[in-house]
Amino acid sequence: MKELKTSIGKIIFWLLVIVFFWLVITHFAQTKQILGVISHGRWYWIALAVVSQIIFYPVYARYLEFILKMFGANLDRSKLRQVYLATKFTDIALPLGFISKVAFFIRYGAKENQPPLNIGIGTTFAMLTDLVAFLGIAIVTMLLLYIMGQPQTYLLVSLLLLALFILITILFLVQIAVLKRPPNRLVLWIIKQLSRMSGRGMIDSDQIEKIILEIGSDLKQNHRKIWPGLGLSLIAQLINMATFAFAYAAFAGQFNILAIITGFTAGLLFTIVSITPQGVGIAETVIVTTLRSFGLDLSVAAAITLAYRGLLYLLPVFVGFYYFSHLELKPKDESIES
Q: Is residue 30, in this structure, part of any structural domain at all?
A: no
**Residue 271 pLDDT exceeds 90:** no
* Distance (Å, whole) CA 153 – CA 92: 29
pLDDT at 306: 85
pLDDT (mean) for 78-86: 89
pLDDT at 233: 93
Which residue range forms the structural domain that includes residue 173? Answer: 41-319
**Residue 22 pLDDT exceeds 50:** yes
Q: Is residue 304, in this structure, part of any structural domain at all?
A: yes
- Range of weakest confidence among 39-43, 72-76, 176-180, 197-201: 197-201
pLDDT at 329: 55
Q: Is residue 32, in this structure, part of any structural domain at all?
A: no
3-class DSSP state of 302 = helix
Q: Is residue 26, in this structure, part of any structural domain at all?
A: no
pLDDT at 176: 59
Q: Which residues contact 244 (CB under 8 A, 6 or more apart)?
A: 260, 263, 264, 267, 304, 308
pLDDT (mean) for 117-129: 84
pLDDT at 246: 95
Q: Is residue 202, in this structure, part of any structural domain at all?
A: yes
Q: Which residue has the higher pLDDT, 135 or 209?
A: 135
- Range of weakest confidence among 106-120, 229-243, 323-337: 323-337
Total number of domains in the chain: 1
Q: Is residue 328, in this structure, part of any structural domain at all?
A: no
Q: Is residue 11, in this structure, part of any structural domain at all?
A: no
* Helical packing angle, 153-177 and 205-221, nearest 10°: 100
Q: Which residues contact 305 (CB under 8 A, 6 or more apart)?
A: 267, 284, 287, 288, 291
Q: Is residue 99, in this structure, part of any structural domain at all?
A: yes
pLDDT at 334: 47
* Distance (Å, whole) CA 83 – CA 218: 24
pLDDT at 214: 63
- Range of weakest confidence among 59-63, 73-77, 99-103, 261-265: 99-103
pLDDT in tens, 145-196: 888 877 677 787 888 888 887 887 777 666 655 556 666 666 656 666 555 5
For the chain, report the end-to-end CA distance as a whole number of angstroms.
31
pLDDT at 234: 94
Closest CA to 328 of 116, 98, 103: 103
* Distance (Å, whole) CA 324 – CA 310: 19
pLDDT at 248: 94
